C-alpha cells in the first residue's frame, strides 16, 4: 500500500512537472509536442552528470548539479522547437514529432558512444547511477521521499503565482490568446513565446530526470520515456490548461500508472487474474476515455499552434 | 530557369534535396565528434548501403532486402500523407501498423489462414484503430495526435499480449511463418530469382507502388478525394457546402489506418522478421513514415522514392563500423530530416520571393529598354 502511494505521488509529480511545462508553452501560443524528446534529453543530461560527479560529492551538490544539468539540457533542446516554430513558421506538430524521434536517437547515440569510448566492448546505451541516486531519497518509515517531489510542489505553486499574479504571466497568456492585440500594446510576442518554450524545456527536462530515477538505478536510453511526455499532454488537456487542475489530473493519471507497477503486491488484484499487459494499457485507456469526455468544450489557448505573423489581421 | 523553379514539383524536389544534404551533413558532424578517423567511411557506408558490396549478386541481394523493407514504409508514408491531405496528422499510423502486424501474424499462426485473408485482416485491424481516432476527433473533439499516441501504446501492449499465444515458450519471438504458417507468406512472383534468391522480395513491392498510384488517383482525380481535401482545408466551409464533414474525417482515418495496417502485413508476411513480444517501444516504421511522407513532398509518387531513400540509409546504418559507431546514427539522420522538413514552407517562400524580385527586375529592365527606343 505504501508502495502504491509512493509511486502514485512519484508519477503524479513527473506528469505534473511536464504538464506544467506544456502549459507554459501552450499559453504562449506554441504547441509543444516534443515534450517526450525533451524529457529524454533532460534525463540524459542529468544521468551523465550523476555519472561524472566525483565520488564523495556531498548529497546536496549531487542533487543540485543533476537538476541543473537536466534543466539546462532540456532548455537547450527545446530551443530547436522555438527557432522552428517562432521564426520559421514551421508546422509545430511536425517539428514536435521530429524532436521526439531525434531525442531518443540522439540520446542513444551519445550514451552509446561514451560507453564505447570508455570500454570498447560496451555497446549498450545504459547509464548507471546507483550510489548517486541515494542522494535524492530520504526514507521515512518505508516511504521513500524524493527531494524532487518537494521541488515539484514548489514548481506548482510558483507556476500558479507566475501565471495569474505577475505581469509576465498575464502577458504570456495574452500572446496565446490574441497575439495581435498583445503586440498592439507593446508586448514582444516573439520574446514571450521564446520564454514559454524555454520554460517548458526546463520543466520537461526536470520531469525526465525524475522519471528515470523513479524506482530504478540505471536507464537504457533506447527505451525513451515510454510515452510519458504524451501522457503529460493528456494531463494538461484534462487539467484545462490551469495549474491547479493539472495537479489533480496528474494525481489521477499517476494512480493508474502506479497501479501497473505494483498491482502484483495486491492479492485481490492478482486473484482477478488480469494479464499484466492490461495494466500497462490502463493509463493510456483511461486518458483516452477522459479526453473523450472533456474535450468537447475546449479551453485551449485560442492562438496556439498558429505562427505569429506581424502582418496578418 | 525561372519557369522551372516556379514549378511546384521542382520546388518540392529541390527543398527535399536540401533537407537530405543538410541532414546527412549534420550526421557526418556527429560522427566526426564521436571519432574523427573513419567518420567519412562511416557516413559513406550509410549513404552506400548495398552498393558497398563489390559483387553484383550480393548487391542485388541486399538491394532486395532494402526493397522488401521499403514496401511497408511506402504504405506507412501513404497513410500519413493521405490523412495529412485531409488536415489530420495521423501519428497513430505507428499503432495501426502494429495492429496490422498483430492481425496478420495471428491470422497466419493462430488461424492458419492463407496470405490474402491475412492481408485483409491486417487492413481491417488498422482501419478499426483509425476509426477510433476518427470518431473521437469527429464526435468528441479529441486531438488526433494525442489519441493516436495513446492508441499506439495500447496497440503495442495488446499485440504483445495476443502474440504471446503464438510463440514458443522458450523464445521471445513469434513462430517463423516458414515453420508454422507457410500459406501466409506473400507470393514472390519469381522476383526472388532476380534478386539473387532473396526470398523476402515479393508481391508487396508492386502492390505498394499500385497503392501509391491509387492514392494519387483518389486524391486528385475523384469527387471523393476532392471532398476529403475540402474538409481538410476548411471544415466549416465543407459543412456549409453540404459535405458530411464528420463522416469524411472518420472515413479518411479508416483508409489511412487500413494503409498502415497493410504496411504491417507487408513486412511480417514476408517472414523477414518475427514479432518480439517483449518489446517496450513502438516500432519506428510508423514514425519513419512521417519522414518519408514529408520528404516526398506529400506526393504519393514522391513517397515511393523518399521511402526507398529512408530505408536505404536505415539499412546503411547497420553497415557502419559497429565497434566505433552505432547503427542509430541513421535514425538520428532521418529524425533530422523530418525536423528540417519543417522548414520547407519557409524555403519555398524564400524561392518564390526571390523569383518575384528577379522577375520585377527583369520587367523593369524591359521597360527601360522600351523607353530608350
Interface with A, mutate which of B88, B321, B342 (most A CBs under 10 A): B342
Side-chain half-sphere CA neighbours of B282 within 13 A: 28
Question: Which of B34, B140, B150 shows the shortest C-beta gap to A295?
Answer: B140
Asked whether the predicted pLDDT for residue B121 surpasses 90, the reply is yes
Element (H, E) at A138: strand A137-140
Question: Which of B325, B328, B346 shows the shortest C-beta gap to A88?
Answer: B346
Query: Can you tell me which residue has the cell 541513421?
Result: B330
- In the predicted model, what is the mean pLDDT of residues A73-96? 91
Contact A237 B146 (CB under 8 A): yes
Asked whether the predicted pLDDT for residue B17 surpasses 80, the reply is yes
Domain ranges of chain A: 2-225
Q: What count of CB pairs under 8 Å joins A to B? A: 145
Residue A146 phi, psi (nearest 5): -110, 130
pLDDT at A313: 58
State the nearest Cα–Cα gap between B29 and chain A, in angstroms: 13
Asked whether the predicted pLDDT for residue A58 surpasses 60, the reply is yes
Span A228-281, pLDDT tens digits: 888 898 889 888 899 999 999 999 889 988 888 787 777 777 777 777 778 888
State the nearest Cα–Cα gap between B89 and chain A, in angstroms: 8
At residue A208 the predicted structure's pLDDT band, cuts being 50, 70 and 90, is very high
Contact with chain A for residue B142, Cβ under 8 A: yes
Asked whether the predicted pLDDT for residue B63 surpasses 80, the reply is yes
* A199 CB-near residues (< 8 Å, 6+ apart): A21, A24, A25
Interface with B, mutate which of A30, A83, A109 (most B CBs under 10 A): A109
pLDDT at B109: 92
Contact A94 B324 (CB under 8 A): no
| Residue B151 near residue A288, CB atoms below 8 Å | yes
* B43 CB-near residues (< 8 Å, 6+ apart): B24, B27, B28, B31
| % of chain A surpassing 70 pLDDT | 99
Q: How deeply is A3 buried, as exposed, middle or buried, from its count of CB atoms within 10 A (0-12, 13-18, 19+)?
A: middle
Contact A91 B342 (CB under 8 A): yes
* Calpha distance B278→A283 (Å, rounded): 19
Asked whether the predicted pLDDT for residue B191 surpasses 80, the reply is no
| Residue A182 near residue A171, CB atoms below 8 Å | yes
* Nearest-by-CA chain B residue for A224: B281
Span B146-158, pLDDT tens digits: 899 889 989 999 9
Q: What ipTM, to 2 d.p.?
A: 0.87
Task: Provide the 10 A C-beta neighbour count for residue B51.
Answer: 14
| Residue A42 near residue A76, CB atoms below 8 Å | no
Asked whether the predicted pLDDT for residue B222 surpasses 90, the reply is yes
At residue B94 the predicted structure's pLDDT band, cuts being 50, 70 and 90, is very high
| % of chain A surpassing 90 pLDDT | 43
State the nearest Cα–Cα gap between B4 and chain A, in angstroms: 25
Asked whether the predicted pLDDT for residue B322 surpasses 60, the reply is yes
Asked whether the predicted pLDDT for residue B339 surpasses 80, the reply is yes
pLDDT at A3: 83
Asked whether the predicted pLDDT for residue A116 surpasses 80, the reply is yes
State the nearest Cα–Cα gap between B269 and chain A, in angstroms: 25
Asked whether the predicted pLDDT for residue A7 surpasses 80, the reply is yes
pLDDT at B372: 57
Contact B332 A98 (CB under 8 A): no
Q: Mean pLDDT in chain B?
A: 88
Residue A137 phi, psi (nearest 5): -115, 135
- Residues of chain A in contact with residue B91, where contact means CB-CB under 8 angstroms, are 93, 97
Query: Can you tell me which residue has the cell 538491394?
Result: B63
Angle subtended by helix axes B285-295 and B245-268, to nearest 10: 120
Q: Mean pLDDT in chain A?
A: 87
Tell me which of A194-198, A261-265, A287-291, B200-204 is least confident: A261-265
pLDDT at B371: 59
At residue A158 the predicted structure's pLDDT band, cuts being 50, 70 and 90, is very high
Q: Which domains does chain B have, with CATH numbers?
A: 2-358 (1.10.3470)
| % of chain B surpassing 70 pLDDT | 99
A299 vs A67 pLDDT, higher one: A67
Contact A288 B147 (CB under 8 A): yes
Q: Pick from A65-79, B224-238, B319-333 the range whose average pLDDT is largest.
A: A65-79
pLDDT at B100: 96
Contact B334 A278 (CB under 8 A): no
Amino acid at each position: 500500500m505504501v508502495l502504491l502511494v509512493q509511486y502514485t505521488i512519484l508519477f503524479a509529480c513527473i506528469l505534473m512537472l511536464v504538464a506544467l511545462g506544456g502549459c507554459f508553452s501552450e499559453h504562449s501560443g506554441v504547441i509543444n509536442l516534443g515534450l517526450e524528446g525533451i524529457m529524454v534529453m533532460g534525463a540524459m543530461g542529468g544521468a551523465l552528470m550523476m555519472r561524472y560527479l566525483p565520488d564523495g560529492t556531498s548529497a546536496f551538490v549531487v542533487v543540485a548539479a543533476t537538476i541543473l544539468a537536466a534543466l539546462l539540457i532540456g532548455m537547450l533542446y527545446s530551443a530547436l522547437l522555438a527557432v522552428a516554430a517562432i521564426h520559421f513558421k514551421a508546422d509545430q506538430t511536425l517539428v514536435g514529432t521530429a524532436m521526439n524521434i531525434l531525442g531518443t536517437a540522439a540520446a542513444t547515440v551519445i550514451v552509446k558512444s561514451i560507453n564505447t569510448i570508455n570500454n570498447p566492448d560496451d555497446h549498450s546505451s545504459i547509464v548507471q547511477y546507483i550510489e548517486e541516486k541515494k542522494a535524492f531519497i530520504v526514507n521515512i518509515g518505508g516511504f521513500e521521499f524524493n527531494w524532487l517531489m518537494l521541488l515539484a510542489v514548489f514548481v506548482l505553486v510558483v507556476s500558479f503565482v507566475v501565471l495569474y499574479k505577475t505581469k509576465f504571466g498575464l502577458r504570456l497568456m495574452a500572446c496565446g490568446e490574441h497575439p495581435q492585440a498583445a503586440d498592439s500594446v507593446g508586448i514582444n510576442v516573439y520574446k514571450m513565446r521564446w520564454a514559454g518554450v524555454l520554460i517548458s524545456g526546463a520543466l520537461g527536462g526536470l520531469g525526465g530526470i525524475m522519471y528515470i530515477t523513479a524506482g530504478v538505478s540505471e536507464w537504457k536510453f533506447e527505451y525513451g520515456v515510454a510515452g510519458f511526455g504524451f501522457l503529460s499532454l493528456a494531463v494538461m488537456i484534462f487539467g484545462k490548461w490551469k495549474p491547479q487542475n493539472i495537479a489533480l489530473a496528474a494525481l489521477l493519471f499517476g494512480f493508474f500508472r502506479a497501479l501497473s507497477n505494483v498491482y502484483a503486491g495486491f492479492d485481490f488484484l492478482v486473484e482477478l487474474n488480469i494479464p499484466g499487459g492490461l495494466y500497462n494499457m490502463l493509463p493510456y485507456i483511461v486518458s483516452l476515455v477522459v479526453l473523450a469526455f472533456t474535450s468537447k468544450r475546449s479551453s485551449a489557448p485560442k492562438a496556439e499552434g498558429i505562427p505569429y505573423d506581424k502582418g496578418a489581421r | 530557369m525561372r519557369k522551372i523553379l516556379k514549378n511546384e514539383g521542382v520546388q518540392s524536389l529541390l527543398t527535399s534535396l536540401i533537407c537530405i544534404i543538410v541532414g546527412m551533413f549534420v550526421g557526418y558532424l556527429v560522427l566526426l565528434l564521436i571519432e574523427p578517423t573513419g567518420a567519412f567511411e562511416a557516413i559513406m557506408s550509410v549513404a552506400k548501403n548495398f552498393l558497398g558490396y563489390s559483387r553484383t549478386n550480393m548487391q542485388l541481394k541486399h538491394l532486395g532486402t532494402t526493397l522488401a523493407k521499403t514496401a511497408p514504409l511506402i504504405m506507412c508514408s501513404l497513410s500519413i500523407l493521405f490523412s495529412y491531405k485531409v488536415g489530420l496528422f495521423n501519428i497513430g499510423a505507428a499503432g495501426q501498423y502494429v495492429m496490422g502486424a498483430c492481425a496478420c501474424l495471428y491470422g497466419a499462426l493462430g488461424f492458419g489462414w492463407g496470405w490474402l485473408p491475412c492481408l485483409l485482416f491486417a487492413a481491417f485491424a488498422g482501419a478499426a484503430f483509425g476509426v477510433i481516432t476518427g470518431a473521437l476527433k469527429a464526435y468528441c473533439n479529441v486531438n488526433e495526435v494525442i489519441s493516436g499516441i495513446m492508441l499506439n501504446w495500447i496497440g503495442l501492449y495488446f499485440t504483445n499480449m495476443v502474440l504471446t499465444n503464438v510463440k514458443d515458450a522458450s523464445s521471445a519471438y513469434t513462430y517463423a511463418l516458414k515453420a508454422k504458417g507457410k500459406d501466409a507468406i506473400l507470393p514472390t512472383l519469381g522476383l526472388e530469382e532476380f534478386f539473387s534468391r532473396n526470398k523476402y522480395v515479393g508481391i508487396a513491392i508492386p502492390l505498394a507502388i499500385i497503392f501509391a498510384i491509387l492514392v494519387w488517383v483518389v486524391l486528385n482525380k475523384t469527387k471523393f478525394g476532392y471532398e476529403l481535401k475540402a474538409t481538410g482545408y476548411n471544415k466549416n466551409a465543407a459543412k456549409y457546402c453540404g459535405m458530411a464533414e464528420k463522416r469524411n474525417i472518420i472515413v479518411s482515418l479508416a483508409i489511412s489506418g487500413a494503409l498502415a495496417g497493410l504496411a504491417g502485413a507487408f513486412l511480417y508476411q514476408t517472414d523477414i522478421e518475427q514479432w518480439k513480444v517483449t518489446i517496450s517501444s513502438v516500432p519506428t516504421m510508423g514514425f519513419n513514415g512521417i519522414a518519408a511522407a514529408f520528404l516526398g513532398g506529400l506526393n504519393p509518387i514522391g513517397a515511393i522514392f523518399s521511402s526507398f531513400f529512408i530505408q536505404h540509409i536505415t539499412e546503411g546504418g547497420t553497415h557502419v563500423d559497429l565497434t566505433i559507431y552505432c547503427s542509430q546514427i541513421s535514425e538520428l539522420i532521418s529524425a533530422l530530416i523530418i525536423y528540417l522538413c519543417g522548414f520547407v514552407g519557409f524555403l519555398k517562400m524564400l524561392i518564390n520571393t526571390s523569383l518575384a524580385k528577379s522577375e520585377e527586375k527583369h520587367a523593369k529592365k524591359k521597360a527601360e529598354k522600351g523607353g530608350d527606343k
